[in-house]
Structure 1
Amino acid sequence: MKIFIQSLLMIMSFFLTQTYAASFDCNHAKTSTEHAICESLAVNDADVKMATTYKIVNKLVPMGTRSVIRDEQVKWLAMRDRCGKAEACLNEVYKMRQQQLDIYLQRIYKKGPF
């Protein structure tokens, strides 16, 4: 019985704890935008996907293109931060950035095989 109760408590704590995996440490979120990202599962997922795609693209493109992509990312981050806590705005800017990064990925794929 004791094992059953311990197992039940462990399962319940798993479901009660918000454990999102933003591309940054949510414990160190400073801006209202960062807090909004950490509080919304959908935006959080978009953040992780975009950050992962960004890292992949940044490693696979030629050096000249990397600086373009980094400059775009800096501009995009400023635009994202203007959303504040507005989840709809955040969803839209993440969608837009993901589409831009996906275009770079398609260009990389066309140059394959790897």
Structure 2
Amino acid sequence: MKIAQFFVVIWLSSMGFSAQAASFDCKKAQTVTEHAVCDHRQLNDADVKMATTYTIIKRLVPMGTRGAIQDQQVKWLQMRDQCQDNVSCLGDVYAMRQQKLDLYMNRVYQQGPF
């Protein structure tokens, strides 16, 4: 039963991202990095997955942990933006962030609140 609830949460959270390509509006992309994410399907998909995982985790962790994760996200965005339009760099940075978020997700899954 826990697994079914977990997938329902993921599905409901991802619905908000289905109307656009990236987790942000590509029509309003301003930075070189944002344009690179919008222009490359692999980065686009990585961005949506990362943003979905991030949103889910923020809703499931306690406030102290939530603040730490939000601070990490801000630092990660700064690091991501340093890649500019280097697709390889961006791919590595997205993979690194997703791995970290997956660790949080695994902790949430192991501890509840399901």
So what's the TM-score if we normalise by structure 2?
A: 0.81
- How many Å apart are 1:112 and its aligned residue? 2.8
By relative contact order (CA 8 Å, sep 6+), the higher-ranking structure is: 2
Q: Structure 2: any 5+ residue segments left out of the alignment?
A: 1-18
Residue of structure 2 in register with 1:62 after alignment:
62
Matched ranges for 1:1-114 at <5 A: 21-112=21-112, 114=114
In the alignment, residue 95 of structure 2 is paired with which amino acid? K
Q: 1:113 to 1:31 in 2, by over 3 A?
A: closer
Give the root-mean-square deviation of aligned CA atoms.
Answer: 1.3
In the alignment, residue 59 of structure 2 is paired with which amino acid? K
Higher radius of gyration, 1 or 2: 1
In the alignment, residue 70 of structure 1 is paired with which amino acid? Q
Does the aligned pair in 2 maintain the 1:50–1:94 contact within 8 Å? yes
Task: Give distance in 2, aligned partners of 1:20 and 1:38.
Answer: 10
So what's the TM-score if we normalise by structure 1?
A: 0.81
Q: How many positions carry a matched residue from both structures?
A: 96
Does the aligned pair in 1 maintain the 2:60–2:113 contact within 8 Å? no
In the alignment, residue 42 of structure 2 is paired with which amino acid? A
- How many Å apart are 1:111 and its aligned residue? 1.0
Q: Could you report, residue by residue, the CA deviation over 1:47-101 in whole angstroms, capped at 9, with x for unpaired residues?
A: 0000000000011000000000000000000000000000000000000000000
- How many Å apart are 1:36 and its aligned residue? 0.2
* Structure 1 residue ranges, 4+ long, deviating more than 3 angstroms after superposition: none
In the alignment, residue 44 of structure 1 is paired with which amino acid? N
